[in-house]
Amino acid sequence: MLETKLSLLNIAKKELTHSLDVLRRAVSESHGNTTTGDQSKAEGKYDTRGIEASYLAKGQQEQLNQLEESLAKFDSLELVNEPDQVFTGSLVVVSTDEEDRNFLVLPAGGGVTIDLDDESYLIITPTSPIGSALLGKDIGAEITLAHTPHAYISEIY
């Protein structure tokens, strides 16, 4: 299962690196437009295009910084084959009365689904509702998921 985790981690890193490249280009364009763009220049005292463009550029820069920090954490992830409890880097199978769901707890990339070997894995972050419900729990622990009253951790890798 460690091999599966490594494959999933590499796919997630590749996807996030691509997102990072796209965001870098957007930040570069936003910064250029706020300082030199003709469309950002005010045409009257109530024209706020320049201010709005600077807010956008600032928000994109913050998002870029957070993504860079999260990607840096990928390199220091400890991948244990069969841990006793869920922690960042764990692959967790949550079972319900109807199905099993695979979650991969990573520092970034929450909400991304990766398909590998006929299985789907949803990346969750430790700060997400599901991630915080899983962290520190062991096999057999019951957890609460939205719209799923009876869920428990059946496997941890």
> Could you give the number of structural domains in the chain?
2
Strand partners, 5: none
Spatial distance between the Cα atoms of 38 and 142, rounded to a whole number of angstroms: 58
User: In the numeric block, which tokens belong to residue 79?
Assistant: 């991948």
Do 37 and 95 fall within a single domain?
A: no
Final residue in a domain of this structure, among 17, 47, 74: 74
User: 89-120 pLDDT, tens per residue?
Assistant: 999 999 998 899 999 999 988 999 999 999 99
Residue 85 lies in a domain: no
Range of the domain at 21: 2-74
Please count the other Cβ atoms lying within 10 Å of the Cβ belonging to residue 46. 6
Do 102 and 50 fall within a single domain?
A: no
10 Cβ contact list (under 8 Å, min separation 6): none
Residue 81 lies in a domain: no
Secondary structure of 94-150 in the HEC alphabet? Answer: EECCCCEEEEEECCCCCCCEEEECCEEEEEECCCCHHHHHHCCCECCCEEEECCEEE
List per-block mean pLDDT (blocks of 10 residues) for the chain, which spans 157 residues: 88 90 83 56 65 80 85 82 90 92 92 94 94 95 84 94
Residue 12 lies in a domain: yes
Final residue in a domain of this structure, among 74, 100, 117: 74
CATH of the domain at 109: 3.10.50
